Amino acid sequence: MNKIKKENIKHIIGIVSGKGGVGKSYVTGSIAVELAKQGYRVGILDGDVTGPSIPYMFNITSGVYGDEEIIYPATTEKLGIKIISSALLLAHGEDPIMWRGPLIGSLVTQFYTTVNWGELDFLLIDFPPGTSDVVLSAFQTIPVDGIVLVTTPQQMVQQIVKKTYKMGEEMKVKLLGVIENMAYVKLPNSDEKYYLYGQNKLEDLQNTFPINILGSLPFLPQNTKLVDEGKIEVTDTTEFSAIVEKLIKELQNE
């Protein structure tokens, strides 16, 4: 299958994880916010068709329109980030999507091909966890520049990083780097860092395996609350500016 190139989208980055619940959508949303704050034109394709969460983080419930041939994405209020998600196509947000794999996979591709994204500097794809068919078939059709792996320290980090690296090699998609999420807890008004699962797991791996660490993120309870309220655009993304800088450098190394 040939990849479908779009001239109006400069870079496409996939966000993946070995397991669910590690903060993939949080990281996708936060990278988008940081890029948009820096003046880039950003879109998010919510590739998690059965477990969409991106629109809720941005407090978006509607705004997608179009017909079978062309779809226009919703746009966030503050930063103008364009969003497409299965949650925005349903009449009732709480309706479950109970589709078989091939249909889900083709919807992700359609979100890329059928949606009128306009001019974008970055399209971020929030993939479902793991190396499922949805992820693999998207890599066959969408010209993803590279993937970012999100892990947490309590996972079997070594295996997951190696697995993702190998998947990237097989699919000819570059692993741009790894983000360690919830590496430590930081409470508001305190500089103290609490490492709940031990330190330096990624650094240890880096000594034996060629990985690029994009950053280690704190768990910030105040952000959990804001994101839950649909206010990700006003979260403090300090840590993400260094991550975005490294990511852009890595893309230029292609």
> What residue ranges bind Mg ion (CB under 5 A)?
24-25, 53
Pick 41 or 148: Cβ nearer Mg ion? 148
Min separation Cβ 222 and ligand ATP, Å: 8
Pick 111 or 219: Cβ nearer ligand ATP? 219
How big, in percent rounded to 5, are the helix, strand and coil portions of the chain?
35, 20, 40
Contact footprint for ligand ATP (CB under 6 A) = 17, 20-26, 48, 51, 53, 129, 181-182, 217, 219-220, 223-224, 227-228
Partner from ligand ATP, Mg ion, none binding residue 137, C-beta < 5-8 Å depending on class: none
Residue nearest to Mg ion (CB): 25
Write the DSSP string, 150-207: EE-TTS-HHHHHHHHHHHHHHHT-EEEEEEEEEEEE--TT----B-TT-S-HHHHHHT
Whole-number Å distance between alpha carbons of 75 and 77: 6
Min separation Cβ 191 and ligand ATP, Å: 16
Pick 129 or 143: Cβ nearer ligand ATP? 129
Q: Helices 221-228 & 24-37, crossing angle to 10 degrees? A: 90
Tokens of 67: 């017909």
Q: Is 5 exposed, middle or buried (0-12, 13-18, 19+ CB in 10 A)?
A: exposed
Min separation Cβ 47 and Mg ion, Å: 9
Min separation Cβ 85 and Mg ion, Å: 11
Whole-number Å distance between alpha carbons of 211 and 40: 27
In degrees and rounded to multiples of 5, residue 154 shows phi and psi of -85, -5
Min separation Cβ 135 and Mg ion, Å: 13
Pick 63 or 218: Cβ nearer ligand ATP? 218
Our CA dihedral for 24, 27, 30, 34, rounded to 10 degrees, sits at -140
Partner from Mg ion, ligand ATP, none binding residue 26, C-beta < 5-8 Å depending on class: ligand ATP
Pick 47 or 168: Cβ nearer ligand ATP? 47
Partner from Mg ion, ligand ATP, none binding residue 243, C-beta < 5-8 Å depending on class: none
